[in-house]
Amino acid sequence: MNLPAAASKPVTLLQLSDSHLSEDPQARYRGQPADANLATLRPAIQELKPDLIVLSGDVSEDASPASYWRMGGFVRDLAPQIAWIPGNHDEREVMAGVFDELGFEAGPVVEAGGWQVMLLDSAWSDRPDGEMNDERLAPIDRLDGSAPALVFVHHQPLLVGSPWIDKYPLVEPHRLWDRLAGKPVKAVAFGHVHQVFEGEHDGIACLSAPSTAANGVREAPRFTPSEQGPSARWFRLWPNGRWETGLLVC
Ligand SMILES: [Fe+2]
Ligand SMILES: [Fe+2]
Residue type, 138: A
> How does 61-99 read in b/e, with b if 16+ C-beta sit within 10 Å?
bebbeebbebbbebbeebbebbbbbbbbbbbbebbeebb
Q: Which ligand is nearest to the CA of 212?
A: 1
Give CA separation, 161 vs 9, 40, 93, 129, in Å: 36, 29, 32, 16
Please tell me whether the peptide bond between 108 and the residue prior to it is cis, using omega within 30 degrees of 0. yes
Range 9-249 has CATH code 2.30.110.10 = no
| Distance in Å, CA 87 to ligand 1 centroid | 7
Contact 44, 248 (CB under 8 A): yes
Q: Which ligand is nearest to the CA of 169?
A: 2
| Distance in Å, CA 123 to ligand 2 centroid | 8
Identify the pLDDT of residue 7. 57
183 by Cβ neighbours in 10 Å (0-12 / 13-18 / 19+) ranks as middle
Q: Which ligand is nearest to the CA of 90?
A: 2
Which residues does 126 contact at the CB level (< 8 Å), separation at least 6? Answer: none
Identify the pLDDT of residue 67. 98
Assign 139 to helix, strand or coil. helix
Mean pLDDT, consecutive 10-residue stretches, the chain (250 aa), reads 63 98 98 98 98 98 98 98 98 98 97 97 96 98 96 98 98 98 97 98 97 97 96 97 96
Q: Which ligand is nearest to the CA of 17?
A: 1
Q: What is the largest CA-CA distance in the chain?
A: 57
Contact 237, 150 (CB under 8 A): yes
Q: Domain limits of the chain?
A: 9-249
Identify the pLDDT of residue 250. 86
